[in-house]
Each structure stands twice: as C-alpha cells, then as structure tokens.
Amino acid sequence: MTFFITFPSIFLLSLAVLSILPTTPASAASTLYAGQSLNPGQSLTQGNYSFIMQQDCNLVLYDKNRAVWSTETSGRASGCVLRLQINGNLIIYSGVRVIWQSNSSGFVGIYYLILQTDRNVVIYDFFHDAIWSTGTEVPSADSVDDKAAPFAVAKEKVVEIDNVLEG
C-alpha cells in the first residue's frame, strides 16, 4: 500500500506523539523532550558530563566538575526554569520573563535535546537534524549515534498512530 505524507499529516502526527511523551521535569537522564523542563538544581547527565539548571539561573555544562559552557545568566533572576518549547526553542524563564534563549525555534513539532556521549548538547528535530548545539563535542573512541536512541519510543508511537490512521 502506498500513501503520501503531507505537511498537515506530519503536523498531526507530531502533535499526537507530543501528547504521549512525558511532560514532567527531567532529571538524571540525558534527554529533554519538547514540553519538558529542568527546574533549579535539576540536570541531565551522561557519564562525567552534567547539564545543570543552577539555582542562580545559570545553565551550565560540566565535564566532571569543570564548567565548559554556560548561558552566562548567573544572578540575572531567581527561580529560573529551563524549558524546551514545542517549536524547538530552548528558553530559560523566570516566571514569564525570558532570561535566555537558543533562538532555535521552528515549526511546532517533535524536538529533543540530548547531552551526548561526546559532551555536546544538541537539539534535534523530528528528522534527526541538529538545529542547535553548545559546540562542546570532544573526540571519543566510543562514539555512538546518540541522536537515534531517544526517538525509539516516539517512533513506536508514530507507527501505532499511523496504523490507526490507516485502519
């Protein structure tokens, strides 16, 4: 059976998958999905690397205990929350005020941010194309395809939804 995928169907599938992905704050994982957030003190981890939304509103990537990248937003506000929007933009909020953003917004869809095994933090879109990164990658002998793993669950759900739409 042959069928064509159009932009409206991709959009509808994206919204359907987004509705089944977790929306709770992420912590002690390496992936943040669109709609999820990191509250003050929460982090993503991958081996010796940590991507932390600090209490002082600074978002920092650590390699062991050494900061290698940050948003340089320390002390600009209080009670900051990092949120990956459903349009792919990564934003630090203090209440409703934007403190910092990645300027990576696109269409509403499926996006995820991953702290990879090469230390780089990357936002990927539905097609696994990188739309933003910290640019902090280091060469690794154990290099793996980090970007494919987080979508394993989402892909299963897309197939389920696709089967429902066909049936």
How many helical (H) and strand (E) elements, i.e. helices and strands, does the chain have? 2, 12
Residue 67 pLDDT exceeds 90: yes
Tokens for 56? 């002082």
pLDDT in tens, 39-65: 999 999 999 999 999 999 999 999 999
Task: Return phi, psi of residue 11, to 5°.
Answer: -60, -45
Q: What is the torsional sign of CA 5, 167, 152, 26?
A: positive
Find the mean pLDDT for residues 97-118.
Answer: 95
Parallel, antiparallel or unpaired: strands 112-115 and 97-101: unpaired
Q: Which residues pair with 84 in a beta bridge?
A: 90
pLDDT band at 139 (very low <50, low <70, confident <90, very high): confident
What is the distance between the alpha carbons of residues 132 and 148, in angstroms, rounded to a whole number?
A: 16
Report yes or no: 13 and 162 within 8 Å, Cβ to Cβ: yes
- Collapse the DSSP code of 9 into the 3-class scheme (helix H, G, I; strand E, B; otherwise coil) and give the result: helix
Find the mean pLDDT for residues 87-116.
Answer: 96
The contacts of residue 149 (CB under 8 Å, 6+ apart) are none
